């Protein structure tokens, strides 16, 4: 009953946000680099930080005996700071330096939440910072077609829920279920041929922050880096697209249409929903294989990530040959 009530509340709050967004013209206008052609409401991903506020409120007021470590305030504050600056960027187009400043604060709070601030050698902390900020921005880069952010996140969160329930408990189960519910509600409005809303930076950044927190908790609990491969598909896409753009001498911080999902939609004319589903299914197969065969990090790289990379390169090469994209 609790989860049904939460879903209803999330639906109601999302619809309420739509009215605010429409009134204040918070929209996404298509341009020559967009993969959509219709003016669409932006910022529907605000439902993810709202889901955390509901989780926290219910945990404190209703489930008073629920295990909520004191460090959860750090996650919540980091998420809200990141969501706030991302939402403002959706509206005002803030400077990169200002965004990075707040990203640094949020990531610092996330590292504190995970309890690794004093466990890692000092020289390793900058690498962790760069990795987390890189993943946050990768999630943002990949949020370019209908359904991809919601479905990909749902796949990762569902995998983490399975591990927490049937393999090893690494967090409060509701800390996973609430973003799952938010993903389902968001998908109801976004996983459509004509999406009702887009996630916006507030959505892609906040759900990425939550996913990273959960992955971090799992890695800390098991001391296994293998679980980072649960975001392997996005990793392949973003890293090798950046390499490609550097090779083409392009500004990697400017908008572009070189991602494989963009090429499939814009050049090959595949539907948004088909491409989004394909990304989700491939990541699901990787996650299932890691769990079922209990692969180590290097085994996962060798047997799963490397073959996926080969398919990715071949797909881009085929599109290049058939459409003369570049």
Of residues 254 and 309, which shows the higher confidence score?
Answer: 309
Cβ-based neighbours of 113, under 8 Å, separated by 6 or more: 71, 72, 74, 75, 78, 213, 216
CA-based end-to-end distance of the chain: 53
Q: Quick one: pLDDT at residue 325? A: 55
Q: Quick one: pLDDT at residue 122? A: 85
Cβ-based neighbours of 127, under 8 Å, separated by 6 or more: none
**pLDDT tens-digit series, residues 90-134:** 998 899 899 999 999 999 999 999 988 778 788 889 999 999 999
Report how far apart, in Å, the C-alpha atoms of 195 and of each of 48, 51, 153, 191, 192 are. 18, 21, 17, 6, 5
Torsion 233-90-10-53 (CA) sign: positive
Kindly state the percentage of the chain with pLDDT values over 70.
94
Q: Quick one: pLDDT at residue 169? A: 95
pTM for the model stands at: 0.95
Q: Region 209-225: what's the mean pLDDT?
A: 96
**pLDDT tens-digit series, residues 253-297:** 677 788 999 999 999 999 999 999 999 999 999 999 999 999 999
Q: Quick one: pLDDT at residue 240? A: 92
Q: Quick one: pLDDT at residue 128? A: 94
């Amino acid at each position: 009953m609790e989860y049904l009530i939460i879903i209803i509340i999330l639906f109601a709050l999302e619809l309420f946000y739509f009215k605010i967004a429409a009134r204040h013209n918070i929209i996404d206008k298509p341009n020559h680099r967009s993969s959509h052609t219709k003016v669409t409401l932006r910022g529907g991903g605000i439902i993810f930080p709202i889901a955390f506020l509901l989780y926290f409120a219910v945990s404190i007021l209703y489930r008073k005996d629920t295990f909520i470590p004191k460090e959860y305030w750090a996650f919540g504050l980091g998420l809200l700071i990141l969501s706030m600056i991302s939402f403002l960027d959706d509206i005002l187009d803030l400077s990169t330096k200002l965004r990075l400043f707040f990203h640094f604060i949020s990531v610092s709070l996330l590292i504190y939440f995970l309890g690794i601030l004093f466990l890692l050698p000092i020289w390793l902390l900058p690498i962790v910072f760069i990795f987390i900020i890189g993943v946050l921005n990768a999630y943002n880069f990949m949020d370019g077609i209908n359904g991809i952010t919601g479905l990909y996140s749902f796949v990762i969160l569902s995998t983490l829920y399975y591990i927490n329930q049937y393999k090893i408990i690494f967090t409060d189960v509701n800390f996973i279920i609430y973003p799952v519910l938010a993903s389902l509600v968001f998908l109801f409005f976004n996983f459509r041929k004509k999406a009702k809303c887009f996630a916006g930076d507030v959505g892609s950044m906040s759900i990425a922050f939550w996913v990273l927190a959960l992955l971090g908790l799992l890695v800390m609990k098991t001391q296994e880096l293998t679980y980072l491969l649960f975001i392997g598909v996005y990793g392949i896409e973003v890293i090798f697209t950046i390499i490609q753009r550097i090779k083409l001498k392009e500004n990697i911080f400017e908008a572009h249409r070189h991602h494989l999902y963009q090429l499939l939609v814009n050049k090959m004319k595949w539907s948004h929903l088909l491409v989004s589903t394909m990304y989700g299914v491939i990541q699901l197969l990787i996650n299932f294989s890691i769990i079922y065969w209990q692969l180590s990090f290097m085994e996962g790289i060798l047997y799963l990530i490397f073959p996926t990379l080969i398919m990715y390169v071949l797909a881009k090469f085929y599109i290049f040959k058939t459409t003369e994209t570049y």
